[in-house]
Chain A
């Protein structure tokens, strides 16, 4: 049975109502209607996940924003659901990773039920399937104009200390970087940002010259840092951020943890419904 968690928390009421009507029509059309529950102030996502488990639900679908899915992940507590995602707004990170472009394509994807086992990344108490960003990384650069990116990418830098796989420490002077499980952009190198390989990809961006900024700003904005000369790329299972204390670690522009913090990976933990156009 399909269990749909509808979350309109970060969506305007009008847009949410419209999306909900569209979704109900499509679910009926593709004959994958199931139980549909709305997130309210009384019953949040944790309670709804609990309810789904009590009812013996096999497939749990988050309908809403990236946050809807991320919060749902945090409360799975090791339960074995097949998971799906239906974006009710445009431009969600998760939809791009999973190869979903609209509500309709999301419903088609759920109906086709192509299941892929994906790695689950953890930072502190939070689970995620995308990437952690630190310092100046793609989300910040995307919102920068040429002048401010020229200034930030050639001048700003941070000194960080990391421990990798409990095996070695890294002292780095960098603009920023990412710890990636999966991302919205496919890589020409299939081993990078592959959420089925059991590894995280740590990418560290070095200070750039003005010419490099002109040449590589689009790559930084897309998060494809491995294309930029001098970028460190480390495949690992655990990244421990040791210094500087209090340095923010963000997921999709929101701070999820501060240094000291550990990012690790649980291989092939999630059974995820994915689309044909997925990035991995």
Chain B
């Protein structure tokens, strides 16, 4: 249970259930559950016990818990061994650790953000 909260501006604790749009201008760490949307220009850390049913948009993301929804990250997306992701992801750099479950499409280098190139049928990486 010992986590470093010092770097995160917003911390959602294990007993917290959020419904709605969680917007922040700083780093977010989620250990509880979120139903709605998560937006930040900085980093999101989804803890192992977290349950997210939300579309997420962030600068970087580290995911160790469950996410059901689309993830758009302008930088790095790391799926840790305990991650369970069900949804499409778009990111510049993707790292998937052994044991992570990922079900969805993956667009890299902003391809998913660019609807034109997506409709032109550019190659996509799928896992």
Contacts and interface: CB of A to CB of B under 8 A. Distances in A.
B6 A188 contact: yes
Interface string A232-261: 111100000000000000000000000000
Contact of B5 (A165, A167, A229): A229
A170 B24 CA distance: 15
Contacts, number: 71
B13 interface: yes
B117 interface: no
A180 B26 CA distance: 18
A232 B32 CA distance: 9
Contacts of A206: 13-15
Given A204-B13, A206-B13, A168 B18 contact: yes
A153 to B, nearest CB: 14
A231 interface: yes
Interface in B1-55: 1-3, 5-6, 8-24, 26, 31-32, 36
B1 A168 contact: no
Given A229-B3, A233-B5, A233-B10, A168 B17 contact: no
A231 B16 CA distance: 10
Contact of A170 (B14, B17, B26): B17
Given A170-B16, A170-B18, A171-B17, A234 B10 contact: yes
Interface residues of B, number: 26
Contacts of A44: none
A197 to B, nearest CB: 11
A4 B53 CA distance: 56
B34 to A, nearest CB: 8
A189 B22 contact: no
A171 B32 CA distance: 10
B24 A230 contact: no
B11 A167 contact: no
Contact of B12 (A174, A226, A232): A232
A74 interface: no
A126 interface: no
Contact of A172 (B5, B15, B20, B24): B15
Nearest to A169: B19
A173 interface: yes
| B5, B9, B12: residue with the most chain A Cβ atoms closer than 10 Å | B5
A231 B11 contact: yes
Nearest to A205: B13
Contact of A226 (B5, B16, B18, B23): B5
A168 B36 contact: yes
Nearest to A163: B20
Interface in A141-185: 165, 167-174
A173 B33 CA distance: 13
A40 interface: no
A66 B10 CA distance: 30
30 contacts: A165-B23, A168-B20, A168-B22, A169-B19, A169-B20, A170-B18, A171-B19, A172-B16, A172-B17, A174-B15, A188-B6, A189-B6, A191-B9, A204-B13, A206-B14, A207-B15, A226-B6, A229-B1, A229-B5, A230-B3, A230-B14, A231-B11, A231-B13, A232-B11, A233-B5, A233-B11, A234-B11, A235-B9, A235-B24, A235-B26
Given A167-B21, A229-B3, 20 more contacts: A167-B22, A168-B21, A168-B22, A169-B19, A170-B17, A171-B19, A173-B15, A174-B15, A189-B6, A204-B16, A206-B13, A206-B14, A226-B11, A230-B13, A232-B11, A232-B12, A232-B32, A233-B9, A234-B11, A235-B24
